[in-house]
Structures are given as structure tokens and as C-alpha cells.
Amino acid sequence: MLGAGAVVAGVGGVAAVSRIRSAARVPAVIPALAQWTAGSADFTLGRTPRIVVASGALARTATLLAADVRALTGVHATVATGSPDDGDIRLSWDRGLPARAYRLDVRGVLTVSGATDAAVFHGTRTVAQLLRQGRTVPGGSGTDAPAYPERGVVLDVARKYYSVDFLKWLIRELAWLKYTSLHLHLTDTQAYRIECAGRPDVVAARHYTRREMAELVSYAADRHVTVVPEIDMPGHMNPILRRYPELALRRANGYLSLDLSQWDAACGLARSFLDEYLELFPGPEWSIGADEWLSTADLAAFPQLESAARSRFGPDAGARDLEYGFVNWLGDHLRAHGRRPRIWNDQLVPDGTVAVDRTVTIDHWYGSAAPTAADLDAQGYSLVNCNSDVLYGDTDNDAYPDPATIYEEFAVHRFSGGQRIPADSPRLRGAQLAIWSDTDNDVTERHVADRIGDPLRALAQIAWGSRKPAATYDRFARLVATVGSPP
């Protein structure tokens, strides 16, 4: 616990400007504020408070906060314009702040200001957490911002179906903790989980309709959580390739991978599935997957791949170059539609003549000896840390990320296999927790929710990058209990 006179400050461009009077005056929130200066005048929520907005652009954020106020305190708050009175909450613009930073001023009026709607929304999550603890909030002011732009969760909905209600619950959890993305692994060897117009035979019996997914994407966007779709290619494509067997490579384990030696047909098929969903997922991020296409041994079993690679990319090309060329081809298509492509890192190897385009974000889960995370950083790739040693869970084996390990040992710049890059690398975008399944098992959603709540809170703190509010996880767990869950 912080003692009297301690500096409350963190990273992310927010400097400490003064000292606090006592530990009791530090707002108890997750993630902890990057900077805070205690004041003498507290805020008490009025009996008929207003949430006063500076412009209509903040109305949706204000409406969501009003609903939270009602659920958390029983007080009915109304959204209004004009000048606030004591006991009111004001949401306003401060264009001088960095895009992801917000300012919190707590006195007679509680004010949240920021340069963007997303920043203001994150400020309202701080307010909601404080109001959960009581209608009076300790006075003071501070500026808060994350060290890294991305804090996310990967959920395998391909191999294990989760209800829309569960996904909405997860989005509320993510918003409460200021996460920015929900990466949905929608397709895999076992199942294709989203409605596909004209090709119903590729879709699993339990799946998400377009209407359900559109509602979910909108629900997340209101809470500034971006849904990142993953239609996994060119591996893990059994549901698709059972329909198009002429484009399938059958591996020894029975898995089907896309035959990239048939370049035009393979790329055309892949593009048709991406185009199916471009309007449905309007967010800026899109995962191609590109994991576990073919092992080195598998490549040798299909000599037509090397022949096609040399024909397309030159005499020194190898079969793996087809995969990198495929990623680049789909990446160009996605960028033409305003999306940033991303892939998993396990298929990246140092040999070959084709380099994956530097604009492709790498979701780094596998501690490869070459290229390492440091190699990829030096080569100019943006990286998201999905450290499988610490951040991976598997519902089939009841194995979930350990919150104490995350809180006490993990850092965003520490990758799988003990690899590291500089913590201040401008290419380090953040970190993701990942919950996988091997089968569509009978593990209940309630059990999954119970097991991921604490890891989510530990990673929220570490990935935000502010000073840890407690030295150990056991003490942080007390703060977890104080802050609670969203209404």
C-alpha cells in the first residue's frame, strides 16, 4: 500500500506532478490511475444528478454511464447539456490531451475530459468503479493514459461455442477494465461458427447469425471494444475445404490446408470468404490467422508447392514463400478496405525469398528461436504479446492463466520462451489473453467466466502500465474485491 507522500505516477506519457496526502485518498480502481493529486473537496453524487455533455458526440457514452449510475447506486441520472451543478457529472473535450488520455477532476462537480470519445469513455469506467464503492468520491485530479494502445482477449468460439449473452458479458467485463479488443477466433479445423451466405454447408449447426454478430459488434463498439474477426487461413480450413476438395492438401493427421500451388483459385476462394464479412466487421483490425498451415515435413510431402513458389517468386523460392505471398496478397486486399491485417507468428521462419509485409501486425504466441520477438521488432513489425507461457488458457484441461503470475512476473515486453524486446519499443502494441478449446466441450460458461475474471484484472493492470497498486497479487486481490464487476 502506498504511504503518505508517495508519488502516484506511471507510463504512457503521463508525468507525475505532485504528491498525495495519504494512501486513503488514492482512488481504488483497476487499472490504477497513472497520476493522481489528492484534493480537499470531495464529490457526492446528487439525488437527481445530471450527466452534462459538451456535445452530442458524447451522448452515447453519457447514456451508458447514466445506466451504470442507476444500476450501481439506485439513483436516476439524466443526460443534459448546459452548466453542471454540484453533484452532477460533466463529460467534456480536452483536445490538448493525447488521444488515449483522459483527465479526471473530482470536486463539487466530477468532470471527465479527453480528446476522443474513447478516452472519455475510459474515464467513465473509472467513475463507475468509484461509484460502485459509494456515492462520495475522494476529491482530487489526475491524468490517466495507457502505456500501450492495445489490451485484448482472444476467444476461441470456433472449437467451443459461446452464447451471445456470454459474449456480451465478456464485452462488459472488458470495457469495465479498459480493454480495447475482443479477437474472435471464428473458424478452425473443427467448426466454422458464423453464417455464410450461399454456403450453409460449411457452417456449424450452432453458429452466430449475421444479425447476432452485427448486434454484438455494435454492442462492443458502444463500449469502445473492437471486435477483431479471425477467419483462419490457409490452414485450419476443414469446413471450407470439404466443400472445395479440389483445393485441399490433406495432411497425415487428416487436417485440410489450402493448396497454394493453385494460386489464383486459392486466393480467389480466400478473398470470397473475407469479402463476405467486410461490412459486418467495420473495425480497423482483421486477423488472417496464418498459423499451422504446414510443417516443414508437410511441405516436403507436397512437391508441387515448391515448384509453384519458384514459378511465381523466382528460382530461390521455397514452398513457405507461397504462404508469405498469400498473407501479403490478402493483406493488400484488406488494406484496400481500410483494415490492418494481422497473423500469428508460428509460421515465420528466417529462410525464404518473400518477406511478410511490415504493415502486418504479429500476434506473438510462440517462442520461436528464429525469428525471435526481438528480431521481428528490429525488422519493423508491430507486435502484440500473446505469451503462451503466461496468457494462454485451455478449457478442455481446465488450465487458465494464473493471475498471480501475470501480476507479479509478466510484463508486456516479455514474450514466450523468455524472449524480450525493449519495453518502450514504438512497435509494441500491447498484450492479449487467449482462451482456447480443443473441443466443443461441456464446460459451462459460468465456469469459464469464474476462471477468467481474475486473470483479466491482473492483465488489465499490467497492460495499462501504471504503477502497481499493490506489491503482491494477494494484496491486489483485495482491490479486485473492492472494485468488483460491472453492473
Catalytic positions = 292
Supply the DSSP string of 435-456, one letter for each residue.
Answer: EE-SS-----HHHHHHHHHHHH
Burial (0-12, 13-18, 19+ Cβ within 10 Å), 338: exposed
C-alpha to C-alpha distance for 47 and 45, rounded to whole angstroms: 7
Q: Which residues contact 272 (CB under 8 A, 6 or more apart)?
A: none
431, 387 Cβ separation under 8 angstroms: yes
What is the helix (H) or strand (E) element at residue 461, kind and residue range? helix 445-464
Residue 379 per-residue DSSP state: T
The cell for 112 is 471527465
The cell for 327 is 498473407
Phi, psi of 214 (to 5 degrees): -60, -40
Is residue 323 classed as helix, strand or coil in its secondary structure? helix
Q: How far is CA 99 from CA 124, 222, 231, in A?
A: 16, 18, 30
Name residue 264's amino acid: D
End-to-end CA distance of the chain: 27
Phi, psi of 393 (to 5 degrees): -130, 155
C-alpha to C-alpha distance for 349 and 376, rounded to whole angstroms: 11
C-alpha to C-alpha distance for 235 and 259, rounded to whole angstroms: 10
Closest by Cα among 265, 210, 224 to 241: 265
Rg for the chain (alpha carbons), in Å?
24
The cell for 423 is 519495453
C-alpha to C-alpha distance for 284 and 341, rounded to whole angstroms: 9
CA 395-200-213 angle, 5° bins: 55
